[in-house]
Amino acid sequence: MTLEAPGGPSPLLELVERALAGATHGPAVTAAGRVRTGAVLAERVRRLGDWLRRRAGATGQRVALVLDNRPLYVELYLACFRAGLAAFPLHPGLPPRTVQAAAHRIAPALVLHDRAGRGHAALAAAASPARPATVELTDDAAPWEDDAQDEPAPDALPRPTADTPAAVFLSSGTTGEPKGVVVTHRNWAAGLTALERAFGAFAPDDVFLHVSPLSHTSGEFVLPALLAGARQHVLAAGDVEAAAELIARGEATRLFVFSSQLGELAAAVTRRGGPGRLRSVLYGGAPAPLPIVEEALDALGPVLEQGYGQTETYPPTLALRRHEHGFPGPEGREIRGSLGRPVGTCEVRLLGPDGTEPIPPGAAGELAIRGPNVTPGYFADPPATAAARRGDFFLTGDLARRDRAGFYHLLGRRTDVVRRAGGPVYPRRVERAAEEHPAVREAALCSLDGKLVLTLRARSPGAAAAGHGLRAWLAARLEAHELPDELRFVDDLPRNVNLKLLRGVLAERLRGSSPAPDESPAGMVGGGT
């Protein structure tokens, strides 16, 4: 017997069941020294789902996943979807305080972890009001075989619906304590539709590399690959060198990387002889310096794709497609520096301060999204949910401008804009101007005690010495009120586990360091943080 809860049938469950039904005896998920066929995967997902229902209880309960990248992660996502439970990924690299605060608010009913996640799993279990059990799992674990609990039969529980939470993800935390973003079955399915519309369907001979954390964007590709009969290969999160080796050997065709990893990937593939049969490198998560994008195009070929979206507006909502990366001339460079154009599965608008102003081409506005991909809200946080809404639209907090061809260009977070005499200063506009300089690899602007400090990473050792003309370079490209008060080269920039820039942490680092004295009339400051 199965029961249907209100909300209509789940489009995500239908996709999961179709993928499991079509699984074959060919390899579906692989890792170093490990192969899981589609048929074995399907059977494990069914049994894991039944076990999770018995252990976690009612539809919609949260299951914390505290694991590194591994094949088991793929199975747990699918099993949670099938069981109507919400996956609650907790990256093992999160700060302990974040894990405790998130678990207290989101209250997982079960905590699953691997060996690397033991410490964070214990923190999450202790902080959760649900007082969950913790279970350590390996890739070959069959926990249902040892589970002697006398619970109701799994098929007596309500089936998930379109409105059932599929996951609760932590927001990036770049502007404060991370919030729990609810992603429903409807949201996730809408995101999969957008992925295919923006970047094309998987082919049966595709091999997708999970080299970014499965707790983040990489998990979105689990179902598309399985549905197409393609293979997924799981690497340790961030192991770009291993990814490059597989690419150069022709053993990988698609992957997602964070924008900050794009240059490293391109260089690593070049050292190994070329891109093999690579078809798609999707990058995102943060802005990418335009020179790095163009270097990657030269190294990898016409395979680059960029997606924009937030967890709250399950991505992608904007896309810069492969052919759009290759447009020639100055207009082509401008397009390559953009976020792309709307995918078409949701409505994208730029809103003014009161939410009603029409924003003309070239003017700044806040990106607002409406559609089936938009979260119903933040878990147990009505004030934050209300603050992020304007009618049916979700306010992303990102400011952008739209050009006459319909491409959107990021200007920065609303909270990072600096008001000065002469007009607002948009961080990405200043950073992009600096990143065009041959001495600069990456730039980050922050406000520090009333001053604008432009923090810079050099392209190579000693490149900082070549940056003495940077002030003149910026003056030729920016308005007077946009020019930073101080320029400072640093060794690195602070990032979270998903490699997003932490401007607040950067400001604190700079406040705690003593800048070296000016070394030239241009005002260039050296030194690290």
Question: Which whole number is the average pLDDT over 354-378?
Answer: 89
Render pLDDT for 228-249 as a digit per residue (tens, 0 to 9). 999 999 999 999 999 999 999 9
Does residue 529 have a pLDDT over 80?
no
Identity of residue 441? R
In the structure, what pLDDT confidence band is assigned to residue 6 with cuts at 50, 70 and 90? low
356 or 22, higher pLDDT: 22
pLDDT bin (cut points 50, 70, 90) of residue 2 is very low
Which token pair is 123?
A: 């923190």
Whether domain 347-416 has CATH 3.30.2130.30: no
Q: How far apart are the first and last CA of the chain?
A: 62
Q: Residue 464 above 60 pLDDT?
A: no
Residue 12 has pLDDT above 70, yes or no: yes
In this predicted model, what pLDDT tens digit does every residue of 95-151 receive, in sequence order? 999 999 999 999 999 999 999 999 999 999 999 999 999 999 999 999 998 775 555
Q: Mean pLDDT score of the chain, rounded to an integer?
A: 91
**CATH number of this structure's domain 422-525:** 3.30.300.30
pLDDT for res 516: 42
Q: What is the pLDDT of residue 525?
A: 37
Residues of the chain with CATH 2.30.38.10: 347-416
Side-chain-facing half-sphere of 195: CA atoms under 13 Å: 23
Whether the per-residue pLDDT at 425 is higher than 50: the answer is yes
- Enter the tokens of residue 486: 């101080």
Where are the CATH 3.40.50.980 domain residues in the chain? 1-163, 204-308
253-298 per-position pLDDT tens digit: 999 999 999 999 999 999 999 999 999 999 999 999 999 999 999 9
Name the maximum alpha-carbon separation found in the chain. Answer: 79
Task: Give the per-residue pLDDT at 178.
Answer: 87
Q: List pLDDT tens digits, range 290-327.
A: 999 999 999 999 999 999 999 999 999 999 999 999 99
Question: Per-residue pLDDT tens for 470-496?
Answer: 999 999 999 999 999 999 999 999 999
pLDDT the model gives residue 499: 87
pTM recorded for the entire structure: 0.93
pLDDT-above-90 percentage for the chain: 83
pLDDT of 519 higher than 80: no
At residue 324, the pLDDT reads: 98
Q: Which of 427, 271, 403 is nearest to 327 (CA)?
A: 403
Q: What is the pLDDT of residues 58-89, one digit of tens each?
A: 899 999 999 999 999 999 999 999 999 999 99
Residue 526: pLDDT band with limits 50, 70, 90: very low
Where does 204-308 sit in CATH, by number?
3.40.50.980
The pLDDT of residue 518: 38
What pLDDT is recorded for position 95? Answer: 94
- pLDDT at position 172, please? 78
* CA proximity to 204, closest of 228, 227, 232: 228
Return the pLDDT at 249.
97
Phi, psi of 253 (to 5 degrees): -120, -25
Kindly state the DSSP code that residue 324 receives in the 8-state scheme: G
Considering the domain delimited by 1-163, tell me its CATH architecture.
3-Layer(aba) Sandwich (3.40)
Residues above pLDDT 70, as percent of the chain: 91
Burial environment of residue 221 by CB neighbours within 10 A (0 to 12, 13 to 18, 19 or more):
buried
CB count, 10 Å around CB of 368? 24
